[in-house]
Structure 1
Amino acid sequence: MDYLRSFGSAAVSTLVQKSGLNLPFSLGAKVYSCETFWTLYDATKREDGSLVSVFEYDLTHPLNKSTIPLARNSLRKLRTIRHPDVLRFIDVVESDSSICIMTERVRPLPLALSQSSSSVPREREDWLIWGLHRISVALAFLNDSASSTHGNVRPSAVFITPSGEWKLGGFEVLSSPKDDLSVIYTMGGLMPDAMAYAPPEVKKEGWSALKDVPVPAADGYALGLLLHAVFNPTHPPPPTAQPPHPPPQVSSRGAIPSSVFPSFKKLLNPNPKLRMSPKILLDIGMAESDGEGHGFFVNNRLVKVCAGLDGFTLSSESDKASLLRTLKESASSFPPEFVSYRILPCLASALEFGGASAATIVPLVLQFGKNVAPDDYGSIIVAPLVKLFASTDRGTRIALLDNLSDFAEKLDKKTVVDKIWPNLQTGFTDTVAVIREATVRAIILLSPKLSDRILNNELLRHLARLQSDPEASIRTNTCILIGRLGPSLGYNTKRKVLVPAFSMALKDSFVHARVAGVMAFMATAECFEMDDVAGKVVSAVVGATLDKEKLVRDQAFKAVELFVKRLEAHAANMVTL
């Protein structure tokens, strides 16, 4: 079983060996041993190869015997609670030796904080406030909608997705305080370092004290400690965390933003009935008033951008334009993972609906793409753009064609032949001239990746038709394209196609089309056999020396001179009989 070779888990190995189970995931490297009994692994979902995480609980470990009910409570809650800001459950494998929970791919917050790539204080602060906003939303949902207390809010219960978003996990003691037998009352003290994150009332009277306080009280207090921990990771817990729990002083603010500090103090109020709840923190943070200590969430750049992206397709055109302008102006300052896994997928999704925004969104996607890791560029940038070639929306098509130069080099031949060309060629016959012309120009960039069959047959049939297009600029560009393609065409195709195509251009009523015809003859001079030069090419070009337009005549004389010199050189080397 090679897919288990790197997991390093005796429990999982035993699970497979004894049960013969075909696991739905392939375990990778061990990421973290969580404080809450779980070991976290990177993994791959076997069904589709997507990246996932696996939390393993070893049921056979002697130290875990007493906390098995907490592990099962965590599984049960994670399985049933579905919320955008809660760790997303995918699957579970249970046996006598272990519980393995598969979730979306994540890293624990402590690890993410230590590996944070941002060295700019403002960017880091934006990310932390955005993350605390998401955790506050999750806790408000659990406290109010689910009437439950999380009871284990701490850095190791928060997980970070590849996009940098914060997800709430750690549901070992999550329960309803209305239930006298809730695990939070009977087993809350079994959590590692339980007292370090417990509110004052629990430290004084035990976990059963939560029966007589508001549902959010414990979570509000722990949220305050979490807030302190992420902004001041090298500082000890604030003095208010220890008896006699004095109110937080300005001296304990550290790096906590001044706008957040008033709420921080209220979260750590030792009186549970006066303590701020996560919902109230959320309301104050989202308040758009100018009052002191308000609006720290709603004015956060990442919060604004996420709200705009989530509702983009339903937004008014002015709101869309405002968001896109913000993204463009701030493109270089967003965290790379936020760009790759949050902004770009939303923009690509928005493009699927088509519309005038495509002209702005496609260049923006490519602008953001400059900061995407090379290994991810294909999946994050190229794949969504290639998919859009199937769109029937003309705004989307023209945006792709106008910006093709920015990603054409990243396209492989198979993608161009199998996915782009079948859709692209419909542009040659589009009723809108702008689409036809843009399609012709695009071929210059894609021609090196077209198959011989397409170049010598399908494409040339389209171009032959376009040489009679009603639009003069399209006829001109078609002739220029055939001239550029000339050296790439097959031997027989060159002899059959080039002279008739360029000769046709020399008879065009549009002066620049005639110039293009002469220039194309010169550009493909090496493509003609000497007998064709003498018998067909010179006779076709020489007539243009008497064109009514001087621009055409001047180029024609240059062409005649070029071909005559080639004939003279060839004749000088001929063997005299």
Structure 2
Amino acid sequence: MMGNENSQLNGLEIEEKAVEITDFWSQYQATIKDSCRYFSLKSDGSVSVFKGEAALGPLWAVSTPLEKFSNNLLKYRHPCIVRYISAWQQRSTLHLATEYVQPLSQVLMTQTPLQICIGLNNILRALVFLHNQAGMSHNNICVSAVYITGDGQWKLGGLQYLCSYSELTAAYLKHARIHRYDKAVDPNEDSYMITTKVDQYSFAVLVEDVYRNHKDDDVPHLKEFKRYCRDYLQHDDPAQRPDLSVVLQHNFFNHEFISIYKFLNFLPLKTEDEKSEVFSNILDNLQCYDEETVAKQLGGLLLSRLTMLDQTARKAVIPFILKPKNERTQNGEHTGFFSLSVFKEHVKPRLMQLFGVRDSQIRTLLLTHFSKFVHVFSHEELSQHILPELLLGIKDTDDNLVAATLTCLSELVPILGGDTVIGGKRSKFFTDGRPNSKSASENVHDQKLFSPKSLRDLPCSENIYNHEEIEQQTYEKILTLNERPSPVGGESIEDAATETTINKVESEDDWSDWDNTNRQLTIVNTVETINVDNDEQKHNEQINVLHSLNEPQSVKTTASTTLLQKAALEAKKNILDISELDIKNQKIDYSKKSSDEFDFFADMKPIIEKPTIVPIAQHNMIDDLSSKLNFVPNDNHDEDENEGWGDTWND
């Protein structure tokens, strides 16, 4: 008895329906939760579980068939033999857990001739290992002893009849014959003195069975290999049957496609020059083969760790494998190798596995090409598998890896949303500062159909006026601004309306005397005439801007223009420093003001009562009680009370 109930895998869930039922066991599919150690293609912890009962017969007196199968899987490890995971006894039933596999008999009809050729090569390699390295004979090579993994690789199973050559006798074969594949048993087996050539005969039968529904020209050298199997591997004299290691040298196992497969399988044994030569031309050589066959048989090898770390493969192979084929290429870019449907079925599961690999070189390579294949994943796959791995990458100490990871996270924001990618609470800190004079649809239309046009052809929120055609009165009305009513009611609304209509727009010819044509003087609503004192002997010339309500509206435009030009010239002559324009520095002599001038602000003078001064006896801090209207600086105040913009006009 092997194992116990405590050896059962944690989190193992076995399906109720059996995949296959044989004379010795029942096979079930199962899943190990929260585990990524035992996966093949699905990366979801899928495994296979075999349940076996005790069997009758002289060969099973010591151990059951499933127990012998389990012991041999545990002892003889090879890439082409079903991988052992665990075994345990539960009551009277033995459980064996292996990697995820399917019986070949259930999927043989879906296999292409090239896939079958590669599969036979794997089985042959496993038999050579058992014969030459282990000194063991399988004794039951047939379709039921072959399994296929999730990625389409053929692996040898059915090791319950395995025995060493020293134990391989005619009596042993006679006892095992009852459960062996009848067609694979040599009819003259009992009469042979040599019993070490049993597997050669059964392998020839396997070749015939798997290629029964295919033509001889489907695979190079298939017809001659079938003849070779009949003439040599099934020879009546067992001594004339060649070793299986010699069969591997046949042309059937050395054509171009299978040579590439062997090269990728034995990549660690190849030199740098051999790697460079093969990887430079490998995609061109694979173009003539079935796309799905290439993806299923070579997809895992093309994305293996050793391949992705090779410098030549990183330039000539990986960029094309990681990009789905797009029929419409832009800017002369190269298209991918696999179509989108094949990419999703065979390459995408590999990528999900690779994102779990903690190798900085592999992760950086995936991040570099992330934008090419991110769209093939579903929202659930991105949020549940890819995003957690990317979030782990931003915590790494490698700055280059972090920078590349952040770039890939930006690719996920439009797909998953910022809340999913960033997490936490978000707030709106930025607003759209574009003018809202046009509707959103118009803005989009302008962006799409932008072309160099004249200003008149472009949409505008304001009306366009022709100065040559519009009448003067209409133009004056457009420039009219409504004046704010007087705060004390000194002016009537009618007077204000009358004043606003006096504004005129001068033509460009009337301003030709100005030195700087870019500087313009605009007459605003409350200004009609400017009285200029022409006394050039004074220190500072005064420009008094007065608005007379009694001025008649019949003043000619030419007279007003002459006054404006003269005032501007005189002001320009007398301004010695730009600081004089500051109202603080202007010196106005109010003695010149004539008695007959109209004072606009006569009725706006505030009445300020004198404050009542209350003397406080024996108090020395009079300065602290300064009135708020007293602008004399107080030296006793703190500096904080004097903070402000400051007077820097003269700096």
| TM-score bracket for this pair, using the shorter chain length | 0.5 to 0.7
State which of 200, 203, 217 in structure 2 corresponds to 1:223: 203
Q: Does residue 1:262 correspond to 2:249, yes or no? A: no
Q: Does residue 1:362 correspond to 2:319, yes or no? A: yes
Q: What's the secondary structure of 1:296's corresponding residue?
A: helix
Q: Does residue 1:45 correspond to 2:26, yes or no? A: no
- What is the letter of the counterpart of residue 184 of structure 2? Y
Are the aligned partners of 2:139 and 2:161 in contact in 1 as well (CA < 8 Å)? yes
1:326-349 alpha-carbon deviations (Å, 9 max, x no partner)? 346646955748625851464163
State which of 425, 430, 433 in structure 2 corresponds to 1:493: 430
Shift of 1:274: 0.5
Seen in structure 2, the aligned counterparts of structure 1 residues 345 and 27 have a Cα distance that, compared at 3 Å, is farther
Are the aligned partners of 1:324 and 1:361 in contact in 2 as well (CA < 8 Å)? no
Q: What's the secondary structure of 1:100's corresponding residue?
A: strand
State which of 250, 264, 273 in structure 2 corresponds to 1:308: 264
Seen in structure 2, the aligned counterparts of structure 1 residues 20 and 556 have a Cα distance that, compared at 3 Å, is farther
Seen in structure 2, the aligned counterparts of structure 1 residues 557 and 397 have a Cα distance that, compared at 3 Å, is farther
Q: What's the secondary structure of 1:43's corresponding residue?
A: strand
Distance in 2, Cα, partners of 1:564 & 1:424 = 48
Distance in 2, Cα, partners of 1:347 & 1:174 = 35
Shift of 1:38: 2.2
Shift of 1:420: 3.8
Are the aligned partners of 2:55 and 2:64 in contact in 1 as well (CA < 8 Å)? no
1:390-433 alpha-carbon deviations (Å, 9 max, x no partner)? 659977654445x367558867467776544775899xx979xx
Distance in 2, Cα, partners of 1:107 & 1:45 = 17
Shift of 1:275: 1.1
Seen in structure 2, the aligned counterparts of structure 1 residues 312 and 158 have a Cα distance that, compared at 3 Å, is same
| Larger deviation, residues 308-317 vs 92-101 | 308-317
Question: Which structure dedicates a bigger proportion of its chain to helix?
Answer: 1
Shift of 1:356: 6.1
Distance in 2, Cα, partners of 1:316 & 1:99 = 48
State which of 103, 127, 131 in structure 1 corresponds to 2:119: 131
The corresponding residue for 2:501 is none
Seen in structure 2, the aligned counterparts of structure 1 residues 301 and 376 have a Cα distance that, compared at 3 Å, is closer
State which of 107, 132, 147 in structure 2 corresponds to 1:159: 147
The corresponding residue for 2:560 is none
Residue correspondences, number: 423
Shift of 1:264: 3.9
Q: What's the secondary structure of 1:55's corresponding residue?
A: strand
Within a 5 Å distance, the mapping from 1:430-509 to structure 2 comes to 443=410, 446-447=413-414, 449=416, 451=418, 491-494=428-431
Distance in 1, Cα, partners of 2:456 & 2:171 = 92
Distance in 2, Cα, partners of 1:311 & 1:199 = 38
Seen in structure 2, the aligned counterparts of structure 1 residues 271 and 58 have a Cα distance that, compared at 3 Å, is same
Are the aligned partners of 1:417 and 1:451 in contact in 2 as well (CA < 8 Å)? no
Task: Give the TM-score normalised by structure 1.
Answer: 0.58
Seen in structure 2, the aligned counterparts of structure 1 residues 336 and 270 have a Cα distance that, compared at 3 Å, is same
Are the aligned partners of 1:149 and 1:177 in contact in 2 as well (CA < 8 Å)? yes
Q: Does residue 1:112 correspond to 2:95, yes or no? A: no
Seen in structure 2, the aligned counterparts of structure 1 residues 60 and 455 have a Cα distance that, compared at 3 Å, is closer
The gaps in structure 1 that reach 5 residues or longer are: 1-14, 119-123, 236-249, 286-294, 458-488, 500-520, 528-551, 567-576
Shift of 1:96: 5.2
Q: Does residue 1:353 correspond to 2:309, yes or no? A: yes
Seen in structure 2, the aligned counterparts of structure 1 residues 93 and 373 have a Cα distance that, compared at 3 Å, is farther
Task: Give the TM-score normalised by structure 2.
Answer: 0.52
Q: What's the secondary structure of 1:56's corresponding residue?
A: strand
For the aligned residues, what is the CA RMSD? 5.2
State which of 324, 327, 339 in structure 1 corresponds to 2:295: 339
Distance in 1, Cα, partners of 2:121 & 2:365 = 36
Are the aligned partners of 2:168 and 2:195 in contact in 1 as well (CA < 8 Å)? no
Shift of 1:319: 3.3
Are the aligned partners of 2:24 and 2:55 in contact in 1 as well (CA < 8 Å)? no
Are the aligned partners of 1:173 and 1:183 in contact in 2 as well (CA < 8 Å)? no
1:361-402 alpha-carbon deviations (Å, 9 max, x no partner)? 13312333723486887643356369799659977654445x
Distance in 2, Cα, partners of 1:182 & 1:524 = 99
Seen in structure 2, the aligned counterparts of structure 1 residues 320 and 421 have a Cα distance that, compared at 3 Å, is farther
State which of 243, 257, 260 in structure 2 corresponds to 1:277: 243
Seen in structure 2, the aligned counterparts of structure 1 residues 365 and 385 have a Cα distance that, compared at 3 Å, is farther
Distance in 1, Cα, partners of 2:343 & 2:366 = 25
Q: Relative CO higher for 1 or 2, CA cutoff 8 Å, sep ≥ 6?
A: 1
Distance in 2, Cα, partners of 1:38 & 1:186 = 22
Distance in 2, Cα, partners of 1:371 & 1:332 = 19
